[in-house]
Each structure stands twice: as structure tokens, then as C-alpha cells.
Amino acid sequence: MKKIYLPLVGCVAALMAVSCGSNSGSGSSSTGGVRNFDVNLTVKSAEKFYQTDVYGDTVYIDVSTSIQWPERIGDFDIASLQDTIVSYSFGKDKVAERNIDKIISGYIADTSFIGDDSECNAIDSIPGGDDAAPYFYDVTATLVEVNEQMVTYQISAFAYTGGAHPYGASHPFTYDLSRGCVLTAENMFRAGSEKEVLSIVQSGLARQLGVNPSQLESAGIFVSQFTSPGQPYINNDVIVFHFNPYDIAPYSMGNIDVAVYPYELNEYLAPEVKALLNE
């Protein structure tokens, strides 16, 4: 069977190298002291069912997606944000399509993750019963937080094609509206501060697990693999560092999100990030 491909796996360096620039104009207004900032989202969802044979057994497949698609955020140009959502959700090669409905239609029609030699037939629904437990592939894009300065999204992909358990990967990210770019470990912190930032993240994880940093290994963390701060994003004025299963710990520990307060990282933050956090 062909190995399944999740667009989110290993995507930190490969996806959307969006450079930061100027993206002026917020589009906010004030009425009676109340600030208004218009945000327009459309929930785009699709699902398709298939039947195929795998090693002589009948297998049902459920391919689905639900995307909270930003149509407008203030008066900002959000084309780069839309491109990032497409890239993280469906692959960088889909960005040039420039038509989210067509991209979604193509996604639910693609069963290549099952294997090139498998003939999949579209069906109206999957039969009930335990024996019909389907394979599945699901991609979601969810708005986590939005304000007049930034937007935080979480993109998740989960799949099951047989085996002991499903596999999933997530990519949360924060998008700086004014500069028109995704915040990453490379542009959020001062150059040359990688070791210091990593040490703070490791200490933050130890705090969450209730152990000393020197005890991370005994707490189940793969310290030898804990060589980068993961995927940073901002949520509720806290900087969070995300790790998928197997990144730094076994599958049984699931996703790991390490919350670090801005003051802990203050001397290493880039000036633009300090401005976002009002530090």
C-alpha cells in the first residue's frame, strides 16, 4: 500500500516562504466609542465516499474537509493568508489554482493516498456497523483568534488507512496582518538567539509536565530530538510552541503545545512581535 501523504508533515521549511512587507489599512471604525473591525468567513465543506478492495477485503473510504475560509479581514490584503491556508491544507502545489472551491473539489476526488493500484468507486454513503469502519482522510482549517493586528489559524490533517491507529498532524500559525506574513521561529526572534529560545521552551514544557528540565527524558520526552522550538504561534497573548506526535514524544502523548509568556522571551523577541504583543 502506498504511504499516505499529509501536506502538513515536514512542511515548516517547505511551505510558503512569505516575506514580510507592508500591508497598510485596517478598515476599522468607531461608533460611540465601540471599535468595529469587519471579518467575513465562509465555511467551505465537502465529503465524498468510496469503496475499494484491499488485499481481497472490501474497504470504505471517507474523504472530507471543512475550511473556515477568510473572505475579508478589515481592509487588509489577505491573499497571502489565503495562500498559506491552501498550502498548509492541500499542498504548496495547489496555491497557483487560485480557486478554493476547485481545490476542495479536487481534494475529495483524489484517492491516490490509498495506492495507485487501487480502484476506488464513489458511493452515496458508507454502510453502518462495526465491520464497515472506514479508512478516512480529513483536513480542517479553523480560525483560532483574530484581532486588528493578527490572525491565528490551525490546520489539521488526520488519516487512517489501516494499522494500529490513525495518524494526524497539525500546523497552527499566526499571520501578521500589517506585514502580510506568517510568523515563524526564524522571524519571531532575534538572530542568534536559537539556543536561548530553545532552552526557554524546554523549561516551559518541564513546567507543564511538573518536572525539572533535567527530568524531561524520564517524563517521556525524546530529548535527543528536542533540538528546535517547534511551530510557534500566538494565542490569547501567549506564545505557544506546537509539536506533532513523534516530534519530541511518543504517539501516546499526542500533540504537545508549550505555552510561554512573552516576558520570558522578551529580550529575544523581534521588535515587530513585541509590537503585536504590546510588550
Query: How do the pLDDT tens digits run along the chain, 279 residues long?
Result: 333 444 544 444 334 444 576 676 677 777 778 989 999 999 999 999 999 887 778 889 999 999 999 999 999 999 999 999 999 999 999 999 999 999 999 999 988 877 666 788 999 998 876 566 688 999 999 999 999 999 999 999 999 888 777 888 999 999 999 999 999 999 999 999 999 999 999 999 999 999 999 999 999 999 999 999 999 999 999 999 999 999 999 989 999 999 999 999 999 999 999 999 975
Domain boundaries, the chain: 1-180, 183-279
What is the pTM (predicted TM-score) of this model? 0.86
Say if residue 81 is exposed, middle or buried (CB neighbours under 10 Å; 0-12, 13-18, 19+): buried
In terms of DSSP H, where are the helices of 155-220?
Answer: 185-188, 194-209
- Separation between Cα atoms, residue 141 and residue 154, nearest integer Å: 6
CATH topology of domain 183-279: Actin; Chain A, domain 4 (3.90.640)
CATH topology of domain 1-180: Heat Shock Protein 90 (3.30.565)
The shares of helix, strand and coil residues in the chain, as percent rounded to the nearest 5, are 25, 35, 40
What pLDDT, on the 0 to 100 scale, is given for residue 116? 60
What pLDDT, on the 0 to 100 scale, is given for residue 14? 39
- Separation between Cα atoms, residue 249 and residue 245, nearest integer Å: 6
- Separation between Cα atoms, residue 127 and residue 133, nearest integer Å: 9
Per the listing, cell 473556515 goes with 68
What pLDDT, on the 0 to 100 scale, is given for residue 11? 43
What pLDDT, on the 0 to 100 scale, is given for residue 132? 61
